[in-house]
Structure 1
Amino acid sequence: MHLDHAETMPQRHTHSTEPLRPDGSPRALRVGLGGPVGSGKTAGVAALCRTLRESWSIAVVTNDIYTREDAEYLLREAVLPPERITAVETGACPHTAIRDDISANLEAVEHLEQTLDPLDLVLVESGGDNLTATFSKGLVEVQIFVIDVASGDDIPRKGGPGITTADLLLVNKTDLAPHVGADLATMASDAKRQRGDLPVIFTSLTSDGGVREVADWVTAHLTEWHGKAAV
């Protein structure tokens, strides 16, 4: 169930892998953020918004099962104007709404694109899920999977589609490693074994500059996306 603007929600979905809409106008890049509960997805969204909002036109869709808590956090933090943040209440396992039945998220994204046109970037945050969480390519172009050091340094070697296939693996809360006995070198080695050449970023998102490398990665995708639209 989509919680905002239900009375004006579009009834048809227009997503494609092309950077242009049918009318030839540019379409926003859609970036998904998934990962377990407490890994730092919302902190990542907030930090990305603060870092990129002066350079790009951004909107956010959050997912929670029975609440709109993540959206309310972003609103309290004023990371974007209120009309740029909307929520989806999934009512079921989070991966259902981002991978299996993506209609509510597509409606939310399309509404934002229509009402805030032009948009450069839409961040879609999944509800907290497990290591199998992945986004449908019908919903987002690229996806970031967030895990955290405090959950154990064995997480990367456990694998799962979220870790092995996400376009970017983000290992958060590295500042806690000494306090929880986590070996970052082991995590890096295991992540490399699971992901091959796919990128991995180790950081603490709440530290000063902690999101900078992630923001640079998103910016590179944005630049490429809009370059395609200009061809």
Structure 2
Amino acid sequence: MSPTHRDVATVGIGGPVGSGKTSLLTELVPRLRDEGLDVGVIANDILTREDAERLRERFAGVVPEDLVAGVETGACPHTGIREDPSMNLQQIDAFLEDHPDLDLVLIESGGDNLAATFNPELADYSLYVISVAEGEDIPRKRGPGVVDCDLLVVNKTDLAPHVGADLEVIEDDAAEVREGPVAFTDCKSGEGIEAVREHVDEGVLFA
């Protein structure tokens, strides 16, 4: 019997537009590939596949072109990751037709703090990405994206001095509202990406 989406590990990566999800994927995927993992990537968008095309360019020579795909949700992207994940699940199945030994699929979707949560049928593990440029009060607003994700990623830490954000305040507030881990990243320098990779390994691949 051919493998289906139930046979491959999945990680959801959500967060607001501009939080750095694409940059995080750009840094994370090559590290996962270096582990010897076959990785697929899905980018959700409303009416275009522009994000997928951008990722395909960034992963040229790293990930086969047919393992980077876009899903046009036709509505807010969270519809395709939360209410009805069928389009994403079908895309994973399509990956597996040509890559039956696929180890992991990363599913990226934009969405605000309330919307970007993943249906458990779609994602075994979820990351929610915020940027310090959005303000240091994001964690204490307690949205489901922040509270319910398996790993909260606080990105663009290099901007903290320029926007008046205190990383210690963000860390303390995150600890107040959630039980899971928090990773601080600067995708430009690669800082913190290894910690994210380790959390993904522990939470999904070697759980």
TM-score, normalised via structure 1 length: 0.83
CA offsets per residue over residues 69-111 of structure 1, 9 Å max, x none? 2111111112412111011011101111100011111101111
Q: 1:161 aligns with which of 144, 149, 161?
A: 144
Q: Is the 8 A contact 2:14 2:129 kept in 1?
A: yes
Q: Is the 8 A contact 2:27 2:190 kept in 1?
A: no
Q: Secondary structure at the match of 1:53?
A: helix
User: Which segments of structure 1 move beyond 6 Å, counting only runs of 4 or more?
Assistant: none
Aligned to 1:202: 184
Give the structure with higher Rg (CA): 1
How far 1:50 sits from its partner (Å)?
A: 1.4
How far 1:208 sits from its partner (Å)?
A: 3.1
CA offsets per residue over residues 10-45 of structure 1, 9 Å max, x none? xxx9554xxxxxxxxxx2210000011110111111
Q: How many pairs are equivalent?
A: 201
Q: Equivalences for 1:144-155 in 2 at 5 Å? A: 144-155=127-138
Two-structure CA RMSD over aligned residues (Å): 1.5
Aligned partner letter, 1:161: P
What is the rounded CA distance, in whole Å, between the counterparts of 2:203 and 2:141 in structure 1? 28
Aligned partner letter, 1:204: D
Aligned partner letter, 1:202: F
Q: Is the 8 A contact 1:15 1:138 kept in 2?
A: no
Q: Is the 8 A contact 2:13 2:108 kept in 1?
A: yes
Give identity over the alignment, percent: 49
What is the rounded CA distance, in whole Å, between the counterparts of 1:81 and 1:70 in structure 2? 16
How far 1:221 sits from its partner (Å)?
A: 3.0
Structure 1 unaligned spans of 5+:
1-12, 17-26, 226-231
CA offsets per residue over residues 171-230 of structure 1, 9 Å max, x none? 00000000011011111111000103x1001111221344111111112234425xxxxx
Q: Secondary structure at the match of 2:18?
A: coil
Q: Is the 8 A contact 2:9 2:205 kept in 1?
A: no
What is the rounded CA distance, in whole Å, between the counterparts of 1:158 and 1:186 in structure 2? 13
What is the rounded CA distance, in whole Å, between the counterparts of 2:190 and 2:120 in structure 1? 32
Q: Secondary structure at the match of 2:57?
A: helix
What is the rounded CA distance, in whole Å, between the counterparts of 2:40 and 2:205 in structure 1? 17
Structure 2 unaligned spans of 5+:
none
Aligned to 2:197: 215
Q: Secondary structure at the match of 1:218?
A: helix
Q: Is the 8 A contact 1:172 1:202 kept in 2?
A: yes
